[in-house]
């Protein structure tokens, strides 16, 4: 087993990884930027190294500084968390070249799945259904328009290197297509350093269903079931739950088999997620694979009792998976992402000092957070404050528990999305489970405080 793990991340996920390491008896090294000196991950790690100024480019994204920190602190492995360098194949390669274990898949696996067009081809080769689209990247707008007409409008133009809900543009008809195509290309180039884009059919009201994958170096690859992440804003997830109310056991098995088949095709090692879109007619398609731990992994942890991060560390050290199907599932789990953002102002970030912090608790309630009273949310990074995860014996109990937990979750000093999340929980369609990726777009009044709320 590893002796000392450096966590190349910050915030709640850095704390999450530190906890897993401590349980495994592994020493930890925190890295932090000048803006994160007062962070809990720095306090809870055995060792810490400042890696530079606040901007991520000069700290959390700076590979030489992170490798140097690992060498100075004597770490034999690096856990990248999510975001930052987690899906950077070059980083994984440099770790290995520096004799430091990368807790994640191989650089080659990251590379194949990180290129969405290449990932589609890999899936198609093993007959996992993919969304109808161009067979690969498209160079010029004329060729692209030809594909778009073939597939039928609306279409979505996606950056091959895209991620985080960025680098996508929907085109509804041939007249706006060329403009959208050019915009998508230049956005992709400036955001991801590659102007490569491809075309996909834009599905009307799909659900986002993803499968948690775990693989080891001994050829075992399994899935831990699905998460339904259909409640999104601008293609970014806000609420996740499991099991999905849209799946029958039969469909779960079909989709799960496809996900495992996809992961097996590249001999995937570690924790990963196969994301799919599910149509109302129950047809489903591979969308992409994330080759890292995901924000919403606690949903599956609570439902199955499996500690995914510990499992991730164990398999990176060469151990076999400690779990085998059938995976037990208990009740229903819902997760809300609590952000320092103002829904009434287009979810504009609201950094600043947290004066009052009172977390919810009780049976079936898990809170993953790095904030505390007196903590200042810096303006430099994403605005996730906490993940609130509630479990119940059934969906109704989980939902009610989430409502009560949100009501007793007090954060003062910064504007948070807690009242917004409470409104979603009280929404009739959400309660009925009648959601898809366009749900929030239709229910736009959820963004505003009701007038009689005062
Ligand atoms: P990212 O890597 O940026 O997260 P994804 O490819 O995972 O991007 O897509 C994110 C979200 O965008 C999906 O959950 C879905 O809501 C929407 N989306 C992506 N592709 C399509 C499509 N072909 N049709 C409809 N919605 C889509």
Same domain, 228 and 331: yes
**Residue 240: which domain range?**
207-447
Residue 418 lies in a domain: yes
Helices then strands, counting H and E runs in the chain, come out as: 15, 22
**Of the candidates 415, 430, 417, the residue with the CA atom closest to the CA atom of residue 388:** 417
Q: Which atom of ligand 1 is nearest to the CA of 165?
A: 3
Residue 166 CA to ligand 1 center (angstroms) comes to 9
Residue 453 lies in a domain: no
With the most atoms of ligand 1 within 8 angstroms of its CB, the residue from 131, 170, 277 to mutate is 277
pLDDT tens profile 92-135: 999 999 999 999 999 999 999 999 999 999 999 999 999 999 98
Same domain, 84 and 223: no
Same domain, 346 and 422: yes
Residue 277 CA to ligand 1 center (angstroms) comes to 8
Judge if the upstream peptide bond of residue 201 is cis by omega within 30 degrees of 0.
no
With the most atoms of ligand 1 within 8 angstroms of its CB, the residue from 164, 184, 278, 437 to mutate is 437
Residue 109 lies in a domain: no
Ligand 1 atom 22 nearest Cα: 202
pLDDT at 450: 81
Same domain, 323 and 359: yes
Ligand 1 atom 11 nearest Cα: 235
Residue 266 CA to ligand 1 center (angstroms) comes to 22
Q: For residues 375 and 356, what is the distance between their CA atoms, to the nearest angstrom?
A: 10
Indicate which CATH number applies to the domain containing 254: 3.30.470.20
Ligand 1 atom 8 nearest Cα: 165
Q: For residues 221 and 224, what is the distance between their CA atoms, to the nearest angstrom?
A: 10
Ligand 1 atom 17 nearest Cα: 235
Residue 120 lies in a domain: no
Q: Cα 115–213–231 angle (5° rounding)?
A: 75
Q: Which atom of ligand 1 is nearest to the CA of 237?
A: 14
3 state DSSP class of 163: strand
Same domain, 431 and 319: yes
Q: For residues 86 and 11, what is the distance between their CA atoms, to the nearest angstrom?
A: 14
Ligand 1 atom 2 nearest Cα: 163
Q: For residues 67 and 105, what is the distance between their CA atoms, to the nearest angstrom?
A: 18
Residue 178 CA to ligand 1 center (angstroms) comes to 21
Per-residue tokens: 386: 């906490």
Residue 77 CA to ligand 1 center (angstroms) comes to 32
Indicate the DSSP class of residue 353.
Answer: E
Give the residue from 141, 173, 201 where a domain finishes: 201
Residue 367 lies in a domain: yes
**Into how many domains does the chain fold?**
3
Same domain, 285 and 434: yes
Indicate which CATH number applies to the domain containing 191: 3.30.1490.20
Residue 222 lies in a domain: yes
Give 10-residue mean pLDDT values along the chain (454 residues).
Answer: 98 98 98 97 98 98 98 98 97 98 98 94 96 92 94 95 86 94 92 92 97 98 98 96 98 98 98 98 97 98 98 98 96 98 96 98 98 98 98 98 98 98 98 98 91 59
Judge if the upstream peptide bond of residue 154 is cis by omega within 30 degrees of 0.
yes
Same domain, 88 and 225: no
Residue 21 lies in a domain: yes
Q: For residues 205 and 288, what is the distance between their CA atoms, to the nearest angstrom?
A: 18
Q: For residues 40 and 374, what is the distance between their CA atoms, to the nearest angstrom?
A: 12
pTM: 0.97
Q: Which atom of ligand 1 is nearest to the CA of 208?
A: 14
Indicate which CATH number applies to the domain containing 9: 3.40.50.20
pLDDT at 69: 98
Ligand 1 atom 21 nearest Cα: 202
With the most atoms of ligand 1 within 8 angstroms of its CB, the residue from 133, 148, 165 to mutate is 165
pLDDT at 315: 98
Structural element, H or E, at residue 227: strand 221-233
Residue 288 CA to ligand 1 center (angstroms) comes to 9
Q: Which atom of ligand 1 is nearest to the CA of 437?
A: 16
Query: Could you report how far apart the first and last alpha carbons of the chain are, in Å?
Result: 56
Same domain, 152 and 42: no
Tell me the H-state helices in 115-243. Answer: 116-125, 141-151, 174-192
Per-residue tokens: 383: 């605005």
Q: For residues 426 and 357, what is the distance between their CA atoms, to the nearest angstrom?
A: 24
Same domain, 359 and 270: yes
pLDDT at 449: 83
pLDDT at 453: 52
Structural element, H or E, at residue 214: strand 207-215
Residue 189 CA to ligand 1 center (angstroms) comes to 19
Give the residue from 169, 201, 233 where a domain finishes: 201
Q: For residues 445 and 450, what is the distance between their CA atoms, to the nearest angstrom?
A: 8
Give the residue from 182, 201, 220 where a domain finishes: 201
Same domain, 327 and 434: yes
Q: For residues 208 and 240, what is the distance between their CA atoms, to the nearest angstrom?
A: 10
Residue 115 lies in a domain: no
With the most atoms of ligand 1 within 8 angstroms of its CB, the residue from 163, 168, 439 to mutate is 168
* Pair type for strands 27-33 and 4-7: parallel
Ligand 1 pocket residues where CB is under 6 Å: 131, 156, 162-166, 200-203, 206, 208, 232, 235, 275, 277, 287-288, 437
294 within 8 A of 273, measured Cβ to Cβ: yes
Residues with catalytic annotation?
292
Q: Which atom of ligand 1 is nearest to the CA of 131?
A: 23
Q: Which atom of ligand 1 is nearest to the CA of 202?
A: 24
296 within 8 A of 238, measured Cβ to Cβ: no
Q: Which atom of ligand 1 is nearest to the CA of 229?
A: 14
Q: Which residue has the tokens 């992709």?
A: 188
Structural element, H or E, at residue 23: helix 11-23
pLDDT at 452: 64
pLDDT at 165: 78
Same domain, 345 and 410: yes
Same domain, 287 and 229: yes
Residue 95 CA to ligand 1 center (angstroms) comes to 30
What letters, b where the CB count within 10 A reaches 16 and e where it falls short, cover 230-269? bbbbeeebbbbbbbbebbeeebbeebbebbbbbbebbebb
């Amino acid at each position: 087993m590893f002796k000392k793990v450096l966590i190349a991340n910050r915030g709640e996920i850095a704390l999450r990884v530190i906890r897993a390491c401590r349980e495994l008896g592994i020493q930890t090294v925190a890295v932090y930027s000048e803006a994160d000196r007062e962070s809990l991950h720095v306090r809870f790690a055995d060792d810490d190294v400042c890696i530079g100024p606040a901007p991520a480019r000069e700290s959390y994204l700076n590979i030489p500084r992170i490798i140097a920190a690992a060498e100075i602190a004597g770490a034999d492995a690096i856990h990248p968390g999510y975001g930052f360098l987690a899906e950077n194949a070059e980083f994984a390669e440099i770790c290995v070249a520096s004799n430091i274990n990368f807790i994640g898949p191989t650089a080659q696996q990251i590379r194949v799945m990180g290129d969405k067009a290449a990932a589609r081809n890999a899936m198609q080769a093993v007959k996992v259904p993919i969304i109808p689209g161009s067979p690969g990247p498209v160079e010029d707008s004329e060729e692209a328009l030809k594909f778009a007409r073939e597939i039928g409008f609306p279409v979505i133009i996606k950056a091959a290197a895209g991620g985080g809900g960025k680098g996508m543009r929907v085109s509804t008809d041939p007249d706006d297509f060329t403009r959208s195509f050019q915009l998508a290309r230049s956005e992709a180039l400036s955001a991801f350093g590659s102007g490569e884009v491809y075309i996909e059919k834009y599905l009307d009201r799909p659900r986002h269903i993803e499968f948690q994958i775990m693989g080891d170096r001994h050829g075992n690859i399994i899935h831990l079931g699905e998460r339904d992440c259909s409640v999104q804003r601008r293609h970014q997830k806000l609420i996740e739950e499991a099991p999905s109310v849209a799946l029958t056991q039969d469909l779960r098995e079909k989709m799960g088999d496809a996900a495992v088949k996809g992961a097996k095709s590249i001999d995937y090692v570690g924790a990963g997620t196969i994301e799919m879109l599910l149509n109302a007619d129950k047809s489903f398609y591979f969308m992409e694979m994330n080759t890292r731990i995901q924000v919403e992994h606690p949903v599956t942890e609570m439902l199955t009792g499996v500690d995914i991060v510990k499992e991730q560390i164990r398999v990176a050290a060469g151990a076999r998976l400690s779990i085998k199907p059938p995976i037990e599932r208990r009740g229903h789990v819902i997760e809300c992402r609590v952000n320092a953002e103002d829904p009434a102002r287009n979810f504009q970030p609201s950094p600043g000092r947290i004066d009052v912090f009172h977390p919810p608790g009780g049976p079936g309630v898990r809170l993953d957070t790095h904030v505390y009273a007196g903590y200042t949310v810096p303006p430099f990074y994403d605005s996730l404050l906490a993940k609130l995860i509630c479990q119940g014996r059934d969906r109704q109990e989980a939902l009610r528990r989430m409502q009560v937990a949100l009501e007793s979750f007090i954060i003062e000093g910064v504007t948070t999305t807690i009242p917004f999340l409470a409104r979603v929980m009280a929404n009739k369609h959400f309660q009925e489970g009648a959601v898809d990726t366009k749900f929030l777009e239709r229910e736009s009044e959820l963004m505003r405080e009701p007038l009689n709320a005062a």
